[in-house]
Amino acid sequence: MVMLSHGFFKFRLIMIAIALLMCAIAVTLWLNDGAWHYAAMPTKGVIRTALFGGAGCLCLFISGKISNSRE
C-alpha cells in the first residue's frame, strides 16, 4: 500500500506542475502577444483557464489529503 501511495504522490505532483505550467503559458501568451489588446483571447478566457487549472490542482491536493488520511 505504501508503494501505491508514494507513486500517487509523484503522479499528483507532476499533474499539479503541468496544470500550473499550462496556466502560466496561457497568461504569458495573453500578455506578450498582445492578445488582450486585440481581443484574440478575451480576459474572461484567461481567467477561466487559470481558474480551471487552479481547480484541477485543488482537486489533486484534496485527493492526496484524503488518501493520506486513510492510511
Q: Model confidence over 18-65: pLDDT tens digits?
A: 888 888 887 887 777 766 666 666 777 777 878 887 888 888 788 878
CA dist 1 → 6, 12, 14, 57 (Å): 9, 16, 20, 24
Query: Residue 64's domain spans which residues?
Result: 2-70
Structural domains of the chain, count: 1
Question: Which pLDDT belongs to residue 1?
Answer: 42
Q: How confident is the model at residue 2 (pLDDT cuts 50, 70, 90)?
A: very low
Q: Quick one: cell of 53?
A: 487549472
